[in-house]
Amino acid sequence: MEYNPDAPWYRRLHWQVLVAMGLGAVAGLVFGEVGAEKVGWIGDLFMKLLRMIIVPLVLTSIVSGVASVGAGRDIGRLFSKTLGYYLLSSLMAAVVGLMMVNLIRPGVGAGDALGTAASREMPELDTPDSAVDLLLDIVPTNFIAAASTADMLAIIFFCIVFGASITTLPERPRTVVTDIFNSFFQAMMALTSGIIKFLPIGVFALITRMTGTTGFDSIAVLSKYFVTILSGLTIHLFLTLPLLLFLLAKISPWTHFLNMREALLTAFSTSSSGATLPVTIRTVKERVGASNKVSSFVLPMGATVNMDGTAVFECVGALFIAQVLGFEISLGAQFVVVLTALLASIGAAAVPSAGLVVIFIVLEAIGLGGNPGATMIVGAMLAIDRPLDMYRTAVNVYSDSCGTAIIARSEGEEGVDAEVR
Ligand code: ASP
């Protein structure tokens, strides 16, 4: 199936998704848990379809992208730009979170109300214990094992070094191998387009389940905390990242935002940067217009390590807990919170609720790790985490696409975000 920007389904897709979201919200509110149960499997099926294509898509995208970058120095340059951007944007996100939590002080006096908030069981997720662990995790002992467990950082590492070694081959084998990977990549993109056609149905089911099961009463109890996170995410999405787009690349933030609409809606509905990755890759290529060379560097790695929304969340969440427990957090300790929030956002997996699990890394750093009160508050936060998770995932994905656009422009790709497509 060839990509055709004029195909009617493609042009209308974001409207279809928006309508599906509205219908899903109404269905969830009207039918509650029953509705959630009835259509939940459709959401699961759609998530499985998206996740099914992640590994082969990332593999072919990175290998063909890196192989076409050319000489080693180019790879080094792209790599440093990418890491530089991740660090800059996530740090800014954490600082935005810090400002908002100090301004609104949502935790002060929230202790009583928290006792009434429902708590649920924490999901079990694997998270690295330290920066060294994170580094060791990146190098796989067995690539096939890494691919079979969708261990993204390990897969990305292997694909980058494999792609780089292709560039050192003599002309004939180099073009043969590069062509093969390019062709496989195109096939994966065609498959992605096919799956994305079902986006409205998947979104409808996911939103029905979300509104049918999230306790809106608990949101009222934690409303100040909720508002603090929402405003931090909103500032980062509509102010900080647009500023970076404009100042670093002279890109119209509005154009980029509109070009990214399908990926943002998908991130919002799935709460998973990982599951959204196929849509992100396709949207950045077809709508934003960035090359595979740049997007294959920034997007797959970004989905796993560059999580600005999660960084905002970690900062606000940890300081909220400290406020509820009545701890005064000194300026020095706030600095530690910013740095560990950054680390936690890197360590968080690209799946729903991962951000809430890694908050213990930040709590540990400020001495609240084993505090039973803190654990209870995290339980209450979990009860209302889904809508916040949806929003922060959209911010996570948006930061990756902004990075791709900025780096692509710096590499001379003038067509990037030249118009709304
Ligand atoms: N759900 C988020 C993501 O996949 C991670 C988080 O929970 O913060 O990007």
pLDDT of 156-200, one tens digit each?
A: 889 888 988 998 899 899 999 999 998 998 898 889 888 888 888
Query: Residue 397 CA: which ligand 1 atom is closest?
Result: 9
Ligand 1 close to Cβ of residue 354 (< 6 A): yes
Ligand 1 close to Cβ of residue 272 (< 6 A): yes
Separation of CA 73 and ligand 1 centre (Å): 33
Ligand 1 close to Cβ of residue 355 (< 6 A): yes
Ligand 1 close to Cβ of residue 208 (< 6 A): no
Ligand 1 close to Cβ of residue 275 (< 6 A): no
Taking the C-alpha atoms of residue 38 and residue 30, their distance in angstroms, rounded to an integer, is 13
**Is the pLDDT confidence value at 285 over 90?**
yes
Percent of the chain's residues with pLDDT above 70: 89
**Is the pLDDT confidence value at 11 over 70?**
no
Residue 405's pLDDT is 97
Task: Name the amino acid, one letter, at 354.
Answer: A
124-133, 140-149, 397-406: segment of lowest average pLDDT: 124-133
Separation of CA 393 and ligand 1 centre (Å): 5
Separation of CA 233 and ligand 1 centre (Å): 13
310-317 average pLDDT score: 96
Query: Residue 310 CA: which ligand 1 atom is closest?
Result: 8
Higher pLDDT, 394 or 328: 394
Higher pLDDT, 363 or 71: 363
Separation of CA 383 and ligand 1 centre (Å): 16
Residue 10's pLDDT is 53
Taking the C-alpha atoms of residue 358 and residue 111, their distance in angstroms, rounded to an integer, is 22
Question: How many residues are present in the chain?
Answer: 421
Q: Is 354 exposed, middle or buried (0-12, 13-18, 19+ CB in 10 A)?
A: buried
CA atoms within 13 A on the CB side of 376: 12
Residue 117's pLDDT is 46
Give the model's confidence band at 236: pLDDT under 50 very low, under 70 low, under 90 confident, else very high: very high
404 and 299 in contact (C-beta within 8 Å)? yes
Give the model's confidence band at 309: pLDDT under 50 very low, under 70 low, under 90 confident, else very high: very high
Ligand 1 close to Cβ of residue 393 (< 6 A): yes
Separation of CA 310 and ligand 1 centre (Å): 6
Residue 118's pLDDT is 39
Return the DSSP state at 238: I
CA angle (316 as vertex; 240, 261 as ends), nearest 5: 45
Domain 15-410 in this protein, CATH class? mainly alpha
**Is the pLDDT confidence value at 209 over 80?**
yes
Which tens digit of pLDDT belongs to each residue from 20-65?
Answer: 888 988 998 888 888 888 888 998 898 888 888 888 888 888 888 8
Query: Residue 303 CA: which ligand 1 atom is closest?
Result: 9
Give the model's confidence band at 218: pLDDT under 50 very low, under 70 low, under 90 confident, else very high: low
Ligand 1 close to Cβ of residue 304 (< 6 A): no
329 and 366 in contact (C-beta within 8 Å)? yes
Separation of CA 273 and ligand 1 centre (Å): 6
Separation of CA 387 and ligand 1 centre (Å): 11
From the CA atom positions of the chain, what is the Rg in Å?
A: 21
Separation of CA 354 and ligand 1 centre (Å): 5
Give the model's confidence band at 120: pLDDT under 50 very low, under 70 low, under 90 confident, else very high: very low
193-217 average pLDDT score: 82
- Residue to mutate, 269, 357, 393, ligand 1, most ligand atoms under 8 Å from C-beta: 393
Q: At what angle do helices 241-249 and 385-410 cross, to 10 degrees?
A: 0
Query: Taking the alpha carbons of 98, 104, 106, 110 in that order, is the dihedral positive or negative?
Result: positive
Query: Residue 274 CA: which ligand 1 atom is closest?
Result: 4
CA nearest neighbour of 225 among 327, 315, 293, 333? 315
251-278 average pLDDT score: 94
Higher pLDDT, 335 or 109: 335
Which tens digit of pLDDT belongs to each residue from 67-84?
Answer: 877 656 778 888 899 999
**Is the pLDDT confidence value at 315 over 90?**
yes
Ligand 1 close to Cβ of residue 262 (< 6 A): no
Ligand 1 close to Cβ of residue 308 (< 6 A): no
Higher pLDDT, 111 or 340: 340
CA nearest neighbour of 202 among 109, 294, 275? 275
344-370 average pLDDT score: 86
Structure tokens, 235: 């500032």
Q: First vs last Cα of the chain: how many Å apart?
A: 20
320 and 368 in contact (C-beta within 8 Å)? no
Residue whose CA lies nearest to ligand 1 atom number 1 = 352
Whose tokens are 């998770």? That residue is 389
Query: Residue 351 CA: which ligand 1 atom is closest?
Result: 4
Percent of the chain's residues with pLDDT above 90: 42
Q: What is the dihedral of CA 21, 27, 30, 31, to 10 degrees?
A: -140
Ligand 1 close to Cβ of residue 413 (< 6 A): no
Ligand 1 close to Cβ of residue 399 (< 6 A): no
Q: What residue segments make up the domains of the chain, in order of their start?
A: 15-410
Higher pLDDT, 372 or 121: 372
Residue whose CA lies nearest to ligand 1 atom number 6 = 355
